[in-house]
Structure 1
């Protein structure tokens, strides 16, 4: 369901926000089902808004929106491949889609983590409202230590309304949540709401102090094995955005884009033009740093 809200438009370098502008926007998200069936969700009312925030629009929908809203300034544009997992079949069949080298790497990471935990993987699943309370009590302190929470305000939600919503979903059996433990302490979490027969990749985080053990990857693999065993779900949707983790685990993808469509006006056009210029400068600097071989070092500094 779309809603009107104040939306932060960040100017970022790597994972660090330099400054933020805000606009009041209505949100138009495209679900995986929308995309796969070429369905156009209804555009929300733009009354008392600065415009529209479009999430994960496929090419056909982007073209229609531009035609229907001439004159609107388009910016904060991010094109990517929206990855998802086709869960028809078994977990073993899913693993068979990976190259032999990738399967070997993933299994080595699992064995390495298990060895550090006394020889076993300790992953725990949480479904019911009461179980979700336990999950949140353990996952929230962990989320606060992740760089997503510290630098991007993208940790596991903690507000009363967000928690009430999570519990309501759990009461309808529409949540799958997982924690990975190391010597009795949680080091990675995964939270997945369920929409129809689709699992939605909402929140994944891990203890940065244990990054060398790849806890996020290990948890993803163990959770998928459990989810395939349920034989209930058709898709695992990695939602908008692109990243190595999503590309690694996805079996399929579709070209999409997220962007803002703001009302005609000098301030809106200036904002989006400034953002485009800033992002362009950052991109050029990144290429220059990459040519010097210092990209990993700079990325580490930005995440501190």
Structure 2
């Protein structure tokens, strides 16, 4: 996997933001990185569903190119430069306007029974009832943040990906500003007196985004993240948003809970320089090698041999 920067937070076209690097990654592990100044443009779910590409802003002299996320497969993008598709995926969402009954009916029987079982197990561990708290106003967001950060500090998103809920004052102010215009929601799940899972999302148009999520791994056997996700969606069916946006990338839980999706790709567009051509050639070669290695480990007997070699 090639990463063009930190996390999956979004910048709506046409403005964009600069920063990032071309990182050589295997899973969550970064092996090397090539510094590049990129204008990052993240299409909203509404834009992806509309099927149109963004108008790219002009680059200044210090910028190397653009990184466009959630570009719908149906859309072309006109820009001078060298193009490289970083990844293809389906961007999943839940149609909240269809209602909770329709959503639950669309889930598999296995998913419904699993959700019920997990909620019952966690409630039993908490004295017979779930303790889920909701946060919406600016004052509530100020109370939410330190509690959620305490959970975020324990998560793999913090340790491995650097994509847990930010802890800086600027982000807290952003949370409060969004809440002031009814464009943010937060949830915490408590076990006893301590929070063990959090979810926070910002509103974008008619959608609420799946921006930051995590749970304390010490309580992983109780599936607090899954239980909190179901509770948040249940709340949102009675809220003002039309969709819950699972944002970029795929995952089993997204496929399980979603009611729809749009085929998307993340695209790097770099200036036509020798250095950029070499960088993209290196990325492409690295990804081909990683893909080949993954396929090779699936050959019967090879996986067992690899496990023995690691011992």
- Corresponding position of 1:136: 145
User: Which whole-Å CA distance do the structure 1 matches of 2:121 and 2:154 have between them?
Assistant: 23
Report the CA distance between 1:4 and its aligned residue. 3.3
Report the CA distance between 1:140 and its aligned residue. 0.9
Report the CA distance between 1:166 and its aligned residue. 1.4
User: Which whole-Å CA distance do the structure 1 matches of 2:286 and 2:218 have between them?
Assistant: 32
2:261 to 253, 266, 291: 253
2:102 to 78, 81, 93: 93
> TM-score, normalised to structure 2's length?
0.87
Report the CA distance between 1:269 and its aligned residue. 1.5
SS at the partner of 1:96?
A: helix
- Corresponding position of 1:24: 37
Contact 2:210/2:246, CA 8 A, preserved across alignment: yes
Report the CA distance between 1:290 and its aligned residue. 4.2
Q: Which runs of 5+ in 2 are unaligned?
A: 1-11
Contact 2:53/2:71, CA 8 A, preserved across alignment: no
- Is residue 47 of structure 1 aligned with residue 53 of structure 2? no
- Corresponding position of 2:20: 7
> TM-score, normalised to structure 1's length?
0.89
- Corresponding position of 1:119: 128
- Is residue 69 of structure 1 aligned with residue 83 of structure 2? no
- Is residue 104 of structure 1 aligned with residue 113 of structure 2? yes
User: Which whole-Å CA distance do the structure 1 matches of 2:297 and 2:216 have between them?
Assistant: 28
1:286 to 294, 300, 306: 294
| Larger relative helix fraction | 1
Larger RCO: Structure 1 or Structure 2 (Cα < 8 Å, ≥ 6 residues apart)?
1
- Is residue 198 of structure 1 aligned with residue 207 of structure 2? yes
Report the CA distance between 1:286 and its aligned residue. 2.6
Report the CA distance between 1:178 and its aligned residue. 0.4
User: Which whole-Å CA distance do the structure 2 matches of 1:37 and 1:244 have between them?
Assistant: 25
User: Which whole-Å CA distance do the structure 1 matches of 2:249 and 2:86 have between them?
Assistant: 11
RMSD: 2.1
Report the CA distance between 1:76 and its aligned residue. 5.5
Contact 2:111/2:256, CA 8 A, preserved across alignment: no
Q: Which runs of 5+ in 1 are unaligned?
A: none
Aligned residue pairs, count: 292
